Amino acid sequence: MWSTIIITLIILSLVLWIWALVDILKTRFSSPILQVLLILMIFLFPVIGSLVYFQFKHRFTESERSFEPAFKPRN
């Protein structure tokens, strides 16, 4: 019983850790140094670092680029 719960928690923490690392590598940050610091934080404190990253992600990232063409459609 307890071993199943512990294995489930370990798997969930690994998924959270990998998800955070992939998200950090795909996200545009305001500074490359910030990206390196976040990766270090995730490696040093996997579960807590991942939770902190997802909680404060919007403060670290730039806004996404949007495509808004300035041309008029043909008639």
Q: Is residue 40 included in any domain, yes or no?
A: yes
Q: Which domain holds residue 13?
A: 2-60
pLDDT of residue 37: 93
Q: Is residue 41 included in any domain, yes or no?
A: yes
Q: Is residue 75 included in any domain, yes or no?
A: no
Q: Is residue 45 included in any domain, yes or no?
A: yes
> Helices 46-60 and 32-44 sit at what angle, rounded to 10 degrees?
160
Please write the tens of the pLDDT for every residue from 31-73.
889 999 999 999 999 999 999 999 988 887 776 667 776 777 7
Q: Is residue 65 included in any domain, yes or no?
A: no
Q: Work out how many domains the chain is built from and give that number.
A: 1
pLDDT of residue 75: 66
Statement: the pTM of the whole predicted model exceeds 0.85:
no
**CA–CA separation, 46 vs 32, rounded Å?**
20
Q: Which residues contact 29 (CB under 8 A, 6 or more apart)?
A: 35, 38, 60, 61, 62
